[in-house]
A and B are shown apart, each in its own frame.
Chain A
């Protein structure tokens, strides 16, 4: 009898520890496996200095690394550079590089490789993204094997943000020398995943880089599939053919959320959606009219009913997740005030043209329709029209004498993740269309000064202060009808862990990502 009890006790202990081990295992990372990731478009290039679209940038971020990188709160963190200093006059930056790092092709990563990067970007090759650096970088010098000095033509406060941009991915100099223009088909970086193959229009396959300085990646392979059709992507998740999908249509969210197999995340982005106002057309040159248009729109209702809460209303043209965003009071919903201002400006029965793309941004056309309705309620009759994206881009970029555009919906997400790039290209007087992206032809000396101050600031404090000033001016002058910042919706099976979702609308995997068996 005693023996039986002892045996039984031991048996329970064994079972108990096995059970405990099992449940502990369910939560601790499991190495191995292939993760299938369905994105909405094929990468345009896998050469970081020539990549111009998000699908390409996402894949690049798994293979390449930069000197510094963003965390999910859009703050700068060390990456290939462990630390850095800035000279007092802001013209010289010195980076101390991580040691014992190698590119996928075996070349060592060192100061020479970083100098090679800057030489390439500033040199004759003129890769597509060179203009991120050429206006203000002078050159780079090797100090020793793991120290590099970069000199600037003028102080540039957002320098680190430019380095963290996907175009700052450091490429193996040997690979660039060997492949040149074909580098896009033979990527070689320092990142946790190595390139295996790219079947254009279909998929990109990556495998783990066992020599990665950050440790062995947990996943064996990553397959990024190109699935253009939104509904088909969702079906791939449901059928098990994909573990992770992007850009889920809002109509599918409730169904996926109810399914216990999946996790749906609604992630705030750095993107702003707004209606540009052509200030060269009367009566839009009158600030009261522009402010009235802003008072007329019910942003809360739009966020709740149109986006089901998957968006944030914003008071200006800068979205909260852009570094340097200042929380400032904007235009509340006040149709009465809107009518008053319109009356004061002598524009009570206005007829305007409202343009919108369709399908370029989430619910863009519906957003324009909501704006149209809100404007009608204050006596502004807006004729809404749409055109195909390519035609829209061209039609909204012509000069002031070649266009009859009045109000048009657009979106902007600064790829450097910070507010100077969220305002300068859109509203600085040197960026007027057709040369630049100031498509409403807005000019304000005060804004120019604030933006210039933010650009050349040598301290973070000055930069943030100047950016705040710029945002205040923009809100007051209302060169656009400010609307919302849409979230990006990412869906995955419950077995997937450690996915990085950057507010730059980039989703990718790292050495820490893993998948339960």
Chain B
């Protein structure tokens, strides 16, 4: 019982410039059901592309994505209008992901109707059940999205995803657009739902603190590859890849204060262009530990301690 992502590659061809963007360059992940995988990385690292592939919105150029042994694309397509869907996606921005002219109740019941999950006469009570599940009052059914706060809208988006009775929820930056004081409530809700419904999560974020808080496993991505993978304690408390170390160092941390020097230990340079990938290790241009060998050879993930994999020649257990 697991999600298997095997050697997945995704390219985007740009017709006008005759170039190719290498969005994903060979990604392997195995995630047991009921667990949460946190994926962290900066813009352009391929984390949202991976989300689109896992949800079946796009197909990979190479490789397979399987849920309990069956290819996820067939699973999702075949069952699209008949029964439950295996995987659902929650987007970052609850302002643009809800139809502004559709009442909340209709937005949720639409999913139930499309998937033919409940008899017609029970749809309304199922909508009530879903609203209660995400902690919203029943009278919100008749409201429009603009009458709701950001936190309430994100709860509606979660309720819509759950309406299709998925096993796997892909959460793409689900709290980044919310005010700081309401983020905690949505995070707590996600944790409660995971336990109540036995859901498997892929939680995508650029915020390592949120990743640390919710994840069982953490994958750090850089330029379309996983550079470090392990359980959350290994990756966050004992990072081995120089990029993970830099990322953790760059997290704004409100527990370290009045220390301007902490800003100086910063990673130099920017993420290279995914059209012209650097030779060797994609990180060597910004890496403080890079050796001449790093400019030539790209290190694949190697296990440096049980379950802790790092794609770096210089990494030691």
* A, B bound: no
Residues of A whose CB lies within 8 Å of any CB of B are: none
